[in-house]
Amino acid sequence: MNREIRQRIPIEDLFSSKGRVKILKELVDSAELNISELCRRVGLNHTTTKSHLRVLIASGLIEEKTFGRIKIYRYRIEDLRARSLKNFFELWSS
């Protein structure tokens, strides 16, 4: 498991990108995805998706797990902020 130091990412920076919000919403719904499937679902290229994932990993909302050459990105539902964000997305969608 790849552990990165959590940073205090201002909420304005976190939500300043539609791509980042799409990635968050997709991972809230799917829990775990590899980058190829995530790119396909959110309609972004690999490089853009990877750069957004770096910010989300640094924020502590997303976790990267490595299995050999495969990397899986997981929404960290155990994080209070992540749970709150999931509730927000669910309320907004209903």
pTM to 2 decimals? 0.85
Residue 2's pLDDT is: 41
Structural domain boundaries, residue 65: 11-93
Q: How many domains does the chain have?
A: 1
Token output for 56: 């989300």
Q: What is the mean pLDDT of each run of 10 residues along the chain (94 residues)?
A: 58 88 96 95 97 95 94 96 94 84
20 in any annotated domain: yes
The answer as to whether 1 is a domain residue is no
Assign residue 69 the CATH number of its domain: 1.10.10.10
Residue 63 located in a structural domain: yes
pLDDT for residue 7: 67
Element at 19 (helix H, strand E):
helix 18-30
Instruction: State the residue for tokens 């976190």.
Output: 14
Predicted pLDDT at 4: 44
- 2 lies in some domain: no
For the CA atoms of 57, 58, 60, 64, the dihedral, rounded to the nearest 10 degrees, stands at 30
